[in-house]
Every structure is written in structure tokens, then in C-alpha cells.
Structure 1
């Protein structure tokens, strides 16, 4: 029997039980800064020692973040997170910069294996280029302020039929076959969001001001241009994002409009309202792929095991080590994530399950990230595991599609399985315009930093309307329409991390297309690509996965057509 308990890794450089306090960290950083490195072997050992310290710090921060998001009402957990953000990170940043300078200026740096270290060194040089000491206190302020969004959102709940629900739980009523029930739930959710509208606008204005100051300090005209460099977007430009949005508008929006028209016809409703978009057109109740968080985890382990026993073992290992928190509850932060534990080599999956199909796809999505974490766990340097989002999201979004052939684990009836696959494929297409909306909205926000809340709302509505505005009629719902953007956590917490979802979604469709043609080959290519971490340029990682790094109009059209044909096969 395989032992699934993860043993604590033996450290070779830092103390085994290092308490993360600055007085303990400072001597270690000083040693790294002052250590003589007369040979290439010494330089490589220095990189490994530095990596070991970084992994320990990342994992410590990870647990502070995880615990805080699991219970946003716990002030001690909030303070623990803020301690790291305010007392540790600001002190590390300038020393890290000195270590980066030591590396790139070292007389032997060019004698390092350039194939092995090219991507790593490229990122270090870019970090040095945009580093400004005056930004350190701004990053601290941003770290603390961004967390306020979770506290505000985590406290949101509504009462429906005399019972209190989190917003994630209340959203299950949007699948109810009774239109009155759906409308009541939708309106309750939107009204609850509007309660904090002004508070969140004030918070967002604060974040924009801080972010714009960061960009000016670093010598950029705006935060958009700064973030393209900070995120290491070496493979595409803002102009490419505008073109990608146009391709989605031209090739994907018309398909979704057709689907919406068919939905209206099947439901016998005209016009469709926002609360009509999640209910099944079959006239049957919402799909229930599981009934509890534990069942979701167990079924997903079985699903992954069927694809490849090693994948199932990865998730079983997580379960054995209590690395899941999947149930929705009040006081828990919104959303879902897979947080890699850099030193342990496994991840933690966090989500807010309400026993819906969307929760199934969230789980397999985060499960894709988890597989990525396990496959890169033994890469030589911690930085080799830091994949750009275009690669990280390729891991997760591909898994949403690859797992579909095993979804009978969740559904006993063939008709339910077909419904689930159909809803998932439509969601794949729906992802693209929503990503385009949020991305284009961010371009507008940060290239117009002096705007006010009313102008921001107008801009959002104009952009959303370009991409179908959810393919529904918003008459009489203007306040909710203009406030929809506030539900998007990424805008508050991880600015400019969103276009990656669309790029990766295209890549995932291409992987799924290959998987339908040759499952064994496509799965191997996919796993081989993930195992590279970020040791190769992005286009090489995509090529290893058997696909193109491409988001031209022609490519968007080809892959959108493939999904349309797959939908037709399901009837």
C-alpha cells in the first residue's frame, strides 16, 4: 500500500525548524549576499540555497493566506497575514534586489548552462529593470488593501425563504425551473452586492491610485504598461490583446448569440433576462453531480484515476494530508484557488461548493493546477516552478475538458451526462467574451487613471455591450448592470491577471481536440508540457503540449468551430 502522507523535506541550507521572523531571516540573507562564489559550481549551489530559502518563505506566506481566506472573520489570522505583508516582505524586497544584482553581474554568469537558465535569467533581468525601492511601501499598502475585498465579499449573504445563504449558495436558485424563484434569487444577490457598491468603489479608487504611483515610479506612463513588464509578458503586447478581443467579438459572440436565441425558444421566453441564463432548457431541475464536499473530492479522485492512476494518487495524497477546503460558508473568502506549497511540493485547494455543476468544473480546474504543482515539485530551483499564467491556466482549463469523458463518475443517467457536457462546452465559449470584457475594462481603467466611479461604470457597460452583455435584456436593471464588474475578484486582488484565461482557454480547446483524436498521445504531451514548469519559453511549452501559442482570428475561428461541432454531436 502506498503511503500518502507527505514527509517533511530535509533542508540542506536553512535550519530545519526556522521560525519566520526577520531577526532569524536577516543573517541568512546576509550570508547569501556576502558569500564568495569563485566557481560555477559555487554559483549554482548559491542558487540552490537561495531557492531553498525562497520556498520556505513562500510556503509560510501560503499558509497565512490560506488560513485567512478560510476564516476572514478571525482577526488573529488576518493579523498573521498582515505581519508577513508589512514586516517581512518589505525587508526582503531590497535584499532580493541586491541578490539579483549579484547574480547578473557575476563574472561567471555567462558560463551557466544558458539553455537551462535562459528563462530564469531573463525574468531576473526584467525584475531588476523595473525595481524601485520607493515602490516597496506601496506594495505593502496594496497587499493590505487588496485583502479588504475578501473581508467585504466574505461577509455577504442573503435570506431566501427565511434561510440565510452565502452568495455562492444562493446562486444555485438561478437554476430553478420556476422563473419567479430565479428572479427573486438574482435580485437578492444583486441588491446585496449594491449594499457595498460605494465602499468597494472607494477601495478600488485607492488601489488605482497606488498602482498608478507604482508605474510612475518605475518610469512607465501607466500601470497597464508596467504590468505587462512585471508579469513577464515577453510573447505578446497590449495591441495583441485588442486584436484578440476583436477576434472573440467576431468569431465567438455570434455563436453564443445563436445559443441564446435557441435558449429563448426552448424556454418560451422573450426577451431573456439575466436570471434565465443558468436554468436548464430541458425543463428539468439543476444537475446535482454530488451532495457534499467530501463526495466531490472522492468522485474527483476516481475521475482523475481513470484518466491516469498517477493523477488520482496526487489528489488522494492531498486528501490524506487535509489539503482541501471546498464547502461554502459564511465568513469564508469568495472564489476558488489552488495554492502551491513550495516546500512541501503539494498544493491546497480552496473553493466554495454549493453542490452544482459549476463546482464540479471548479474542482477539476483546480485539480489541473494541482497536477501541475506535483509535476513541477522536484524542479531544481523554486523559480523554475513559477509558471506564467498562460501556462498555469492551460493546465487547469485543459483538465476541465479532458475529464469530461470520465464524468459518468458524477452522473448515473446518460441524459444528465450529456446535459453536463453540453453546459460545460457552452461555458468554455462563454469564458472567452467575459475574459475579453474584463481585460479590455482593465486596459481602460489603467490608461485612464484619473477617472471617477461613474465614468468607470459607463466604460464597463460600453465594453460589456460589445460582447453580448450576457445575451440578455437589462432594461430596468441599470444599477446591477453597471455594478457587475465588482464581483470579479481579480480586478481587486490580481490586476491584469485575466487575459491569460482566454489565451489558455484556446490552448485547452486545442489540447481537447487532440485528445479526442488520440487520447494517450495528447495526455502525454499535456503532462510533458506541465512538467517543464517555466524552464522553457512559452511558445516551446505550448509546442510540447502539441498546440500553437496563437490567438489570431483564424485560430479563434477554427477552435470555436470545433466546439460548435462538439455541441452539435451532443444534440
Structure 2
């Protein structure tokens, strides 16, 4: 079967509710381990069925957001996802209290019960209308992004298709592309503000309904951040300011010299080299073929995995009209199939997103031994270790994609890993301030972004853009709207991934791949810090870890004469 053969059927909620509630009631009164195990397996099967249909809807909706059938299904899932969550939470209340809990470890690892206990604390039937409203607002944002049509140089482009123009070697084109893209956000400023203002208020009401001080505390629990809290993140952000922001300033100075500019404007940042960025030396079919060869050569395990992805047509890679923006990987449980979604646009980002999402997909493929959909994935910051590390573990094959431009690619890829860190913590810091002060006006939120932007990204010169100067850049960061607080995770994982880069590419450590494979096999059965320990990495929260990691990458970059690239 290929992905097109995977069957989507809207769940019959009343029938599902009856069956699920009956199983849960029996579980509550189970008097033997055998009966408990069977009921847990039955309930897990039901949860996998719902998870499968939800993901089939989500994938097909994001591939074509103009498809009226899946637009109608979106209304169903926006309304019913919280109702399914209610049933699941009832199950969690029963299973965490089961006298046989300790005997279920082969079916339900400790992290399952940790997540279940957090879900009980972060869900209430009283908040269901609020969850439904939140889902509707997120879909409003996604439609606003996917529906963008930007007239540029006589043609119409969506937001993903505009990205290559921002990397043009012609500075006038870069500036014009930036202005055209920004104009879309300005033209729809009231809509973005309305959606986000309502999201902040709805989410704050959710947190208050559940008895939390604010949505920040609620989110840390909802996102299962077992190993760290907001105070630890606050200290970590200060470490980024201290150790990384000065490095980024040096990298920007080198970039300006390469581009033969006195100083960089915001529309110059995406161009790394005067004669152009490294680009894949072939079309999407070429990229896919090279990737399949690469993964066969990387290891037996990755070869098997990627062949599976290609044979079952589990990749939708190219940008097109009506398609949602960005990239993601998800998992279709009943078919044991990862799925990769991206928006190829002819830039080096095509390779970054493919290897990144393949890292996610490889992890979940290796974790298919886990039946419970709650823990086949790790928590977000752990997931991103797999994806970001895969970007670096595939470096030896980058010449297949970039040919004589491979050195340019590696230099910019590693530099980008460092320059991303301040932006990543900016997104997190901004959200914390917003949800700590939920009554901010839209203008105050933009002023907050502008103030924090100046702190973390002093390299951004927006002096010739009134809109960007007053702080609307964050409109384009979908996580802020759709996945609140899911962003610091990327930076924590980047610190870990850079350690894998050093071990595999600099130290030539023969154990690096084995450690990577080991943490892919764990799925969500361990916490973030437990996974780091398994991988023999240093925690980003460990004193000196950030500084040591950054120094290794900076030393490598400083050893390169980038003017010759």
C-alpha cells in the first residue's frame, strides 16, 4: 500500500465513546493482571485508531488547504478533539490508580504514567469549549498563511515560494522580496492581531479554569517538561546572551565582508556568499534519489527506513499553491508509517528540512515497538535531538546534493546552527512575557517583540522597514500561534546536536552513531535528561556545556577561509 491507499474515515464519535467508556469502566473494576492487560491493550488499539484518522486528516488537509472535503473534516476535528481528550483523560485517571500499575511496564513505561498524570492536571471537561475555540483560531491562522498570494515580478507566489528571492545575489531583488512579503503581513495585520489576541485570552482562560497561575505554568506541564522548569530556562536564556550573541555578531561581521557590504540590512541575512548560497544541484527527484542512496550507505537501519518511506510514498516535499507552509513529520499508527511534509523551493533549506524531518521519521520508525501512541514519540526537546543531529550525521554525503558547493553548504549550515540559538530563545522569551501579561494590547505585544529582538538579535537592522521595526516579524513564526512554547526545545536540542556534530565530524568518534541509534530506539520511554545520558551528551543546563559546544563550532568556522568559498 502507498499513502494514497490509506483509508480515512471520520470516526463515529457516539459509538466510539460508548465502546471506550465501557472498556474504561471495566478497567476500573478489573480484579486480575490478565484482565487489566487485555483491557489496556484494547484501549490502546482504540486510541491508535483515532490517532490514525486524526493524522490522515491533518496530512491531507495541510497538503491542500483548498480541498473542501478536508476543510469540512477540520470542523469535525476542531470540535471533537477535546471530546476524545476527555475520554482519554478518564482512562488516565483509572490506569494511574490501578493496583496493577507496576506490572504493566512492558506495555506502559514510566513516562506514560508521568504524561497521564500531567494530562489529568491539564484537562477539564469545563474547558472543552475553550479547547474547541483554540482549535478554530489556529486553523484561521493556518488558512491565512496558506492562502497568501504575493505578486512579485509579474507572478503570484505563496510564502514558501518567496524564500529563494530573499537569497538572490541581487540586493535590490532581496530588498524588494522582503518588502513584498512584509506587505502581506501588514495588509493582514488586523487579522493576525485578532487571531493571536483571542488565542492568548482563550489559553489564559484555559489555564485559569484548570487552576494554574498563568498559561506559562500550564504549558510546562502540558508539554511534559519533566526535567526542567521556567526558572532553569530563564538562566539558560542568559547563557545564550552571554556566550552566543557575541559569536553571532562576529559571524555577521564576516558575512558582511563576504558580501562586500559596510553593514548588513535584514534582507541581506539570508544570503551567505556574494556569488550565491549553496543550492541543491538537481530537482526534487534528484534530491530524493540521492537521499535514498545516502541512507542506504549511512547504515543498514537507515537504508531500510528510507526505502520504506519511498516505496509507500510517505513524503510530500514540494511547495505548491494551497499547501500549508513549513515542514513536519507525523506518524500514522495503524499503518506504522511516518510521514514527511515539506515545501521544497530550490534552496539549501530543501536538504536541511529533508534530513531534519527524516531524523524525526527514523526515530519513530525505530520506535514502532511501542504500542501506546502517547509514548512512541519522546517529548519535544528530545524529538529535536533526533532531527537536528541527523542534519549533521549526514554531512559526509552532502557533496551528493551540492557537488562543488558542498563546502559553502557546510560552512553556512554550521553557522546557521549558532545564529539560530538567540532567535530560538527570543521566541520563547516573547511568549513567556505575553502569557505572563495576557492583557497586553496588540501594539504592546509588538513593542515587546521589538524590545526583546534588540536584546537577542542586535544584528537585525530593520531601519528601512517601519513594520518590522515596530515588531511584526513574529507573525510568520507559526509555532507562536499553533504550538505555544514549542520553540526553546529546538535550541536545547541544537546544543545536543552540535555535540553529535563534533563527535562524528571532528573527533571521528566511532561510538557516535551507536549512541544516536540507541536514543532513536528509546522512543518516548525516557525523559529528556535520561535520553541525553544514554547518548553520552552533556545537558544544555549543565554549567559550561553551552560554552564548550559553541567553542567547538566556532573553532571549526574560524579555521575556514570563507572568502575562498
Q: TM-score, normalised by structure 2?
A: 0.94
1:473 equivalent among 429, 454, 461:
461
Q: Residue 412 of structure 1: SS of its match in structure 2?
A: helix
1:500 equivalent among 474, 480, 489:
489
Residues 312-327 of structure 1 correspond to what in structure 2 (within 5 A)?
312-327=303-318
1:248 equivalent among 240, 247, 251:
240
Q: Is the 8 A contact 1:235 1:538 kept in 2?
A: yes
- C-alpha change, 1:522 and 1:54, in structure 2 (3 Å) is same
Residue matched to 2:221 = 229
Residue matched to 1:54 = 47
Residue matched to 2:413 = 424
Residue matched to 1:201 = 193
How far residue 118 of structure 1 moved from its aligned partner, in angstroms, is: 1.9
**More deviation, 113-122/167-176:** 113-122
**Cα distance in 2, alignment partners of residues 539 and 280 from structure 1:** 35
Residues 31-110 of structure 1 correspond to what in structure 2 (within 5 A)?
31-35=22-26, 36-86=29-79, 88-110=80-102
Q: Does 1:212 align with 2:209?
A: no
1:355 equivalent among 346, 349, 373:
346
**Cα distance in 2, alignment partners of residues 568 and 405 from structure 1:** 20
Q: Is the 8 A contact 1:52 1:382 kept in 2?
A: no
How far residue 432 of structure 1 moved from its aligned partner, in angstroms, is: 0.6
How far residue 215 of structure 1 moved from its aligned partner, in angstroms, is: 0.4
Q: Is the 8 A contact 2:227 2:528 kept in 1?
A: yes
Q: Residue 540 of structure 2: SS of its match in structure 1?
A: coil
**More deviation, 110-119/18-27:** 110-119
- C-alpha change, 1:316 and 1:519, in structure 2 (3 Å) is farther
**Cα distance in 2, alignment partners of residues 295 and 342 from structure 1:** 30
- C-alpha change, 1:371 and 1:157, in structure 2 (3 Å) is same
1:558 equivalent among 525, 548, 551:
548
Residue matched to 2:112 = 120
**More deviation, 534-543/242-251:** 534-543
How far residue 141 of structure 1 moved from its aligned partner, in angstroms, is: 1.3
Q: Residue 410 of structure 1: SS of its match in structure 2?
A: helix
1:136 equivalent among 107, 128, 150:
128
- C-alpha change, 1:257 and 1:49, in structure 2 (3 Å) is same
Q: CA RMSD in A?
A: 2.2
How far residue 519 of structure 1 moved from its aligned partner, in angstroms, is: 4.8
- Point out where structure 2 has 5 or more consecutive residues left out of the alignment: none
2:138 equivalent among 137, 146, 161:
146
**Cα distance in 1, alignment partners of residues 4 and 280 from structure 2:** 34
TM-superposition CA deviations, 1:44-93 (whole Å, max 9, x none): 2222221111111111000111111111122321111221231x324323
How far residue 225 of structure 1 moved from its aligned partner, in angstroms, is: 0.8
- C-alpha change, 1:136 and 1:333, in structure 2 (3 Å) is same
**Cα distance in 2, alignment partners of residues 528 and 448 from structure 1:** 42
Q: Residue 276 of structure 2: SS of its match in structure 1?
A: coil
- C-alpha change, 1:6 and 1:144, in structure 2 (3 Å) is closer
- Point out where structure 1 has 5 or more consecutive residues left out of the alignment: 10-15
**Cα distance in 2, alignment partners of residues 140 and 116 from structure 1:** 29
Q: Is the 8 A contact 1:170 1:189 kept in 2?
A: yes
Residue matched to 1:385 = 376
**Cα distance in 2, alignment partners of residues 371 and 297 from structure 1:** 16
Q: TM-score, normalised by structure 1?
A: 0.93
Q: Residue 411 of structure 1: SS of its match in structure 2?
A: helix
Residue matched to 1:491 = 480
Q: Is the 8 A contact 2:265 2:462 kept in 1?
A: yes
